[in-house]
Structure 1
């Protein structure tokens, strides 16, 4: 927090108003067995319902129900085919901790007491019987930390025996054992004798409505634009070009920077203008 106040005072004030147990792992409650500080579960669920969210409310709920119904039995069947007693993701974490456990020196203090030291001189207390370590990772997550696994290997014990029951296969099967019930269709709904619900009246909003026209491929009929003109002389246009930057040319004398209306040569010759008047 001292480092934070020197960098961002506003962030320091926001964190100071909140309970430390809500944003710092050092003050987490050890009963939850969860060290997650992210909302990945909410984001994953939100990504799963991207398409149903655009549907009407009843159709949206029905699409979410079908998705969850399928997810439950897929997860249950996948866990049923798993051979180990520990869940796959937790087992992968333990295997990684096993590799790192050889980096610490174990000082055994009889029974389940250990003192571990790393190459930097840091020391950690571990009690295997109480499943505690002063790093608090074991108490918060329920998964043995790297120091405790080093003590288990020192005594010839198996780290998987110290994992909390909530990460075991049997507990996972109990979670996915409660499946969603199926529903009947509209044909089986009871009739109440009341008039059917009608959609709300369409209110025309002010302003011009936007037209969402499909881009037509070359050769498709697009009104009169695709019909070739009958005159022999055609002008090829590329896109919608404005007159900005175009040099004006007189149609009478073929000179630049003026038109036939203001042409002095045409006026001097006594030509007739568009209104039938003779130039002076």
Structure 2
């Protein structure tokens, strides 16, 4: 049990320190995912319908999807499932000259990550008596 407690204590401390050093709006893993998705947006065209409403067409099969940037939804459902803007949403976000990381769900933000690993597991003093 002591090994599990020590492992948890050091892992939580390490992740706290790592998340404090993050300079982006999201963590490095999420940034890589957003970057990868962003490279696929050239396949799509975003057509504005309203201030935050877009129809995005294109892709391999020429599909059309409705993206609502205000509600953080896309009819492909990937954005709602992952919390990360899908390729259709990213295309619409780029059309507004905005940054996709501004549209990730709150649970993917560094502040939330830090809140998860914030509680300390306190060291234990052992007496040799």
- TM-score w.r.t. structure 2 length? 0.91
Unaligned runs of 5+ in 2: none
Match of 1:94 in 2: 34
- The question of 1:110 aligning with 2:50 is answered yes
Tell me how far 1:85 sits from its aligned partner: 2.3
- The question of 1:172 aligning with 2:113 is answered yes
- The question of 1:134 aligning with 2:75 is answered yes
Match of 1:51 in 2: none
Match of 1:183 in 2: 124
Tell me, in whole angstroms, the C-alpha distance in 1 between the residues paired with 2:63 and 2:21: 42
- The question of 1:157 aligning with 2:98 is answered yes
Tell me, in whole angstroms, the C-alpha distance in 2 between the residues paired with 1:76 and 1:148: 31
Q: Secondary structure at the match of 1:153?
A: helix
Tell me, in whole angstroms, the C-alpha distance in 2 between the residues paired with 1:176 and 1:135: 32
Structure having the larger proportion of residues in strand: 2
Tell me how far 1:110 sits from its aligned partner: 2.2
The count of aligned residue pairs is 128
Deviation readout 1:101-148 (Å, 9 max, x if unpaired) = 121022221221111111422111111111110111111111111100
- TM-score w.r.t. structure 1 length? 0.44
Larger Rg: 1
Tell me, in whole angstroms, the C-alpha distance in 2 between the residues paired with 1:81 and 1:130: 30
Structure having the larger proportion of residues in helix: 2
Q: Higher relative contact order at CA 8 Å, sep ≥6: structure 1 or structure 2?
A: 2
- The question of 1:147 aligning with 2:73 is answered no
Indicate the RMSD between aligned Cα atoms, in angstroms: 1.4
- The question of 1:125 aligning with 2:52 is answered no
Tell me, in whole angstroms, the C-alpha distance in 1 between the residues paired with 2:82 and 2:28: 16
| Runs of 4+ more than 4 Å apart | none
